[in-house]
Structure 1
Amino acid sequence: MHEHIAEAVKEPDVVTVPPGAICLRFETMKLYSALGAVRHLLETGQIQPGDTLVDSSSGIYAHALALACHRYGLNCHIVGSTTVDRTLRVQLEVLGATLEQVRPSKDLRLDQNLRVQRIGELLRERPHYHWMRQYHDAVHYLGYRDVADLIRKEVPEGPLSLAGGVGTGASTGAIATYLREAGRDVTLVGVQPFGSVTFGSEHVSDPDMIIAGIGSSIPFRNVRHDLYDRVHWVNFDHAMSGAVALLRAGGIFAGLSAGAAYLATLWERERAPDRTHVFLAADTGHRYVDSAYAHHAAARGLGTMRPHEVTTRGELRHPWSVMDWPPAAGAPPRGTPALVPGTARHP
């Protein structure tokens, strides 16, 4: 029996999806990140029950942090993206969290910059708030050890390929790190939208695309670029087609990042059939109904889509590009790799 709903909700469903991939389907994946971080901060005395935790979120982390605060008797304040919908707003309100949203924008850079700017203002006004820094504090790696342990138990032994949205770096990066520490042979495949600075695609815009939580207009220190073996950049139309195909093939109703990860996984499976291929579905598809699923009739068949295989970021182009990492040429992306909790270099 679970002591709190957060402990139950975080558990993913491990589902086989045709043709021969495995999906970790989460309702709210970042509960692992939020619960692990909050528990560590309480245990080390960095926060106390009754304190207020604050952070920026496009939606998934907002729900996760609100539940973690509810679980441990803390206050929660979220500076939210325009992608935070009414369903989530009402849940946050009932859970006791407070939410303020930045002004509407379809531009990822402007949306994230406005949120970061507002966090700075809040901390100057209320210096006693604890900023969770989900983008930069490696404490967010800790909770994903449980996901790595689950994969070790549920997925057959042998070489593994793991694909998922990069986002803050704490999910795919942490899971791969803990699996590798346990001796597993893991190829880590990161999924990005065009326009994200994280792996240097900011020069290729996609005005239709805000895949919330998997791209960034600012450097995230929690992204350890050295952990990744390959990167896929997927635009809105292809991510939508992937999400629709995932629902049709496996009955899994998930977000756009899952659609992009499914698309990448099927290509990776053709390239390395000797590996077991696992991909992450970090959230459900509810907030993408109007923007994506309602247009399912326009979705392309997966067999008609192939990526542009490139060797430098200057060759990146729509609708889908893939590159081995690190790139053959060009300057490394901006940002400083994060330190991984549990190592000798713990911050």
Structure 2
Amino acid sequence: MHAHIAEAVKKPDLISLEPDLACLRFETMKIYSALGAVRHLLETGAVKPGDTLIDSSSGIYAQALALACHRYGMKCHIVGSTTVDRSTRVQLEILGATLEQVAPSKNLRLDQELRVRRIAEILAAHPSYHWMRQYHDAIHYYGYREVAESIDKDVPAGPLALVGGVGSGASTGALGTYLREAGRDVTLIGVQPFGSVTFGSEHVADPDMIIAGIGSAIAFQNVRHELYDRVHWVNFDHAVSGAVSLLRTSGIFAGLSAGASYLSALWERRRDDTRTYVFIAADTGHRYVESAYAHHRQALDTDTLKPHEITSLDQLKHPWSTTAWPPVTS
């Protein structure tokens, strides 16, 4: 029996799509990150029950931190992106968390800059608040050790490839780190949107991209670039096509980052069939119904899609590019 709903919701399902292809499907992945971080802060005395924790979120981390705060008797304040949907907003309100959303922005950079600026203003007015710094504090790695142990146990021995959105760096970075520490031969493949500074695609805009959680307009200290072996940049239309294909072929209803990761995993498996591929579905597809899934009839056939292989970042282009990391020419 679980002591709290957060402990039950956090657990992912490892779903086999092919003998050498599996989806690590979360209801909301960042609960692991939030629970591990809050628990560590309490154990070290950095915060105490009743304190207010604050952070920025484009969606799933907001719910995760709210549940972690509810679990451990903390107060929660979120500075949210416009992508935080009504379902999440209502849940946050009922859980006792407070949410303020920044003004609508035309691009990822402005959205994230506005959120960080607002957090600085709040901390100046309330210095007792603890900023969780999900993008920069390594404590957000800790919660994923349990997930890595589960993957190591359930995926047959042998070379492994892990494919997933980079985002803050804590999820794929932590899983790759802990699996390698366990002795697994792991190729770590990061997925990015165009326009993200994390792996140098800020000069290629994608105004339609709404999966802000896998990219960044500012440098994230939790992203350890040396952990990644390959990077894929996937635009909105291809991410939608991947998500629709994933639902159609497997029944897995997941977010756009899962669609981009699924597409990338399929391509990587064609390149190297000596590994078992595990791609991450970080959240469900509910908040993308109107913006993406409702247009499923326009989705492209993923069997016909292939990325543009590049050797330098100035070769990046839509709709999909990929390279070994670091590129041959940097």
- 1:137-156 maps to which residues of 2 (within 5 A)? 137-156=137-156
Conserved in 2, the CA contact under 8 Å of 1:238 and 1:260?
yes
Asked whether the 8 Å contact 2:135–2:222 carries over to 1, the reply is yes
Deviation by residue 1:240-259 (Cα, 9 ceiling, x = unmatched) = 00000000011000000000
1:22 alignment partner in structure 2: 22
Q: Deviations over 1:51-71 (max 9, x none)?
A: 000000001000000000000
Q: Does 1:175 align with 2:175?
A: yes
The whole-number CA distance in structure 1 between the counterparts of 2:295 and 2:16 is: 26
Q: Letter of the 1:61 partner, please give it.
A: Y
Shift of 1:155: 0.7
TM-score, reference length from structure 1: 0.94
- The answer to whether the Cα contact below 8 Å between 2:241 and 2:299 also exists between their aligned partners in 1 is yes
Q: Structure 1 residue runs of 4+, over 4 Å off?
A: none
Q: 1:189 aligned to 2:166?
A: no
Q: Is the 8 A contact 2:63 2:88 kept in 1?
A: yes
Q: Quote the sequence identity (%).
A: 75
Q: How much has 1:104 moved relative to structure 2?
A: 1.1
Task: In structure 2, give the amino acid aligned to 1:101.
Answer: Q
Alignment length (residue pairs) = 330
The AA in structure 1 aligned to 2:212 is: A
- Deviation, 1:18, is 4.6
Letter in 2 for 1:325: W
Q: Is the 8 A contact 1:194 1:201 kept in 2?
A: yes
Unmatched segments (≥5 aa) in structure 2:
none
Q: Where does 1:1-347 land on structure 2 (aligned, <5 Å)?
A: 1-18=1-18, 20-330=20-330
TM-score, normalized by length of structure 2? 0.99
User: In structure 1, how many angstroms separate the alpha carbons of the residues matched to 2:211 and 2:45?
Assistant: 35
Query: Matches of 2:321 and 2:194 in 1, distance apart?
Result: 9
Could you tell me how far apart the structure 2 residues matched to 1:151 and 1:157 are? 10
Q: Distance in 2 between matches of 1:199 and 1:82?
A: 24
Contact 2:190 2:230 in 1 (8 A): yes
Q: Secondary structure at the match of 2:62?
A: helix
Distance 1:23 1:115 in 2: 32
Rounded to whole Å, the distance in 1 between the matches of 2:15 and 2:105 is 35
> How far apart in 1 are the matches of 2:110 and 2:295?
26
- Which amino acid in the other structure matches residue 168 of structure 1? S
Contact 1:106–1:210, Cα closer than 8 Å, also in 2: no
Shift of 1:19: 7.8
For 1:249, give the aligned amino acid.
T
Contiguous gaps of at least 5 residues in structure 1 = 331-347
Partners of 1:239 and 1:134 in 2: CA distance: 24
- Separation in structure 2 between the aligned mates of residue 106 and residue 239 of structure 1, nearest angstrom: 19
* One-letter identity of the residue aligned with 1:49: P
Q: Secondary structure at the match of 1:69?
A: helix
